[in-house]
Copies of this chain bind each other. A is one copy, B any other.
Amino acid sequence: MSFPERPDDQTITSPRSDRVRRIASLSGRSARRRHGLLRVEGPQAVRSLLQHRPDALGELFLTQEAAAAHPELAALAAQAGHRPRRIEPEALRAMVREQDAEGALQNPQGVVATARTAALDLPLAAALAGLPAGPSSILVLHELRDPGNAGTLIRTADAAGADLVILTAGSVDVHAPKVVRASVGSLFHLGVVTGADPATLYRDLAAAGVSIAATSGYAASDLFGTALPPRIAWVMGNEAHGLPDAVLEIADLAVRIPLAGNAESLNVATAATVCLFESLRRRGDP
């Protein structure tokens, strides 16, 4: 064929190109805000974006090897009216320059996409109006700060069949790459409300017929022996400070997670996991 390729068909080769630098800059909150984009890394998370929120797709970058290994990605992008950009492995790796806690470089396995943050914004009122009429479970993260905890809990809430995750104002930015990575695509499957105002959130949940449930080491009733309301929001607090007393006071239900050994408490991700999976177990075993 002798037609000249369109500029967009050219393979991205330079790790120092403006485009590569722009996508690398999305590690920072100010760049995400300026560009209105977040970065999504790896085939599983990008597949989830393309399957569940194709409307939010910005760009899709694939190495030749990744395109061959994951042909469904280009097919899903085509359904959304997008063409993936081909990129050399070195340039793709330069888009994802972050190290993990152990100092190892992230490996996006040849797949990076961007998503438009505005398309992912979900107002609380719309999220509550969209809840199923019957049983429903929600996870509320009240000033949760750790990105790994937030991402893992979005993934865990999804796995446990929750309908919605709500983060209050003062929580970690769910569009930070560490959160997106730890959620492994669940960020695009579940509804996620961010920046909820704690002063009105709990009233709005009550108005939607959702019971507020909190865990407390001082609660009289234990999780495994307590009836759970069908529409329930599990509220988990900040890693260092826990839940404010004001939230414990307005909770419809406070339960103690039984602790058998010497541990004085559980970390927030562990506590949320136990509660969410107990909700799931009850639904299957009424």
Contacts and interface: CB of A to CB of B under 8 A. Distances in A.
Interface of A: 44, 48, 52, 101-102, 145-148, 152, 155-162, 178, 182, 184-186, 189-190, 224-225, 257-267, 269-270, 273-274, 277-278, 280-281, 284-285
16 contacts: A44-B264, A52-B262, A102-B147, A152-B270, A156-B270, A158-B261, A158-B262, A159-B263, A160-B261, A161-B260, A162-B261, A182-B267, A186-B262, A186-B263, A224-B284, A273-B273
Given A186-B262, A225-B285, A258-B284, 17 more contacts: A48-B262, A101-B101, A101-B147, A155-B267, A156-B270, A158-B262, A158-B263, A159-B265, A159-B266, A182-B267, A184-B263, A184-B265, A185-B263, A260-B280, A274-B274, A277-B277, A278-B281
Given A152-B267, A273-B270, A262 B189 contact: yes
B261 A186 contact: yes
A270 B269 CA distance: 8
In the A-B complex, the 10 residue pairs with the smallest Cβ-Cβ separation, listed nearest first, are A161-B260, A159-B263, A158-B261, A189-B262, A158-B263, A273-B273, A159-B259, A101-B101, A274-B277, A224-B281
Indicate how many identical chains form the complex. 2
Contacts of A263: 155-156, 158-159, 184-186, 189
Given A273-B273, A281-B224, A266 B156 contact: yes
A159 B271 CA distance: 11
Contacts of A148: 101, 148
A186 B264 CA distance: 9
A273 B276 CA distance: 11
A261 B159 contact: yes
A258 B280 CA distance: 9
Nearest to A152: B267
Contacts of A156: 263, 266, 270
A136 B259 CA distance: 15
Contacts of A278: 277, 281
A154 B273 CA distance: 16
Contact of A159 (B152, B224, B260, B284): B260
A72 to B, nearest CB: 14
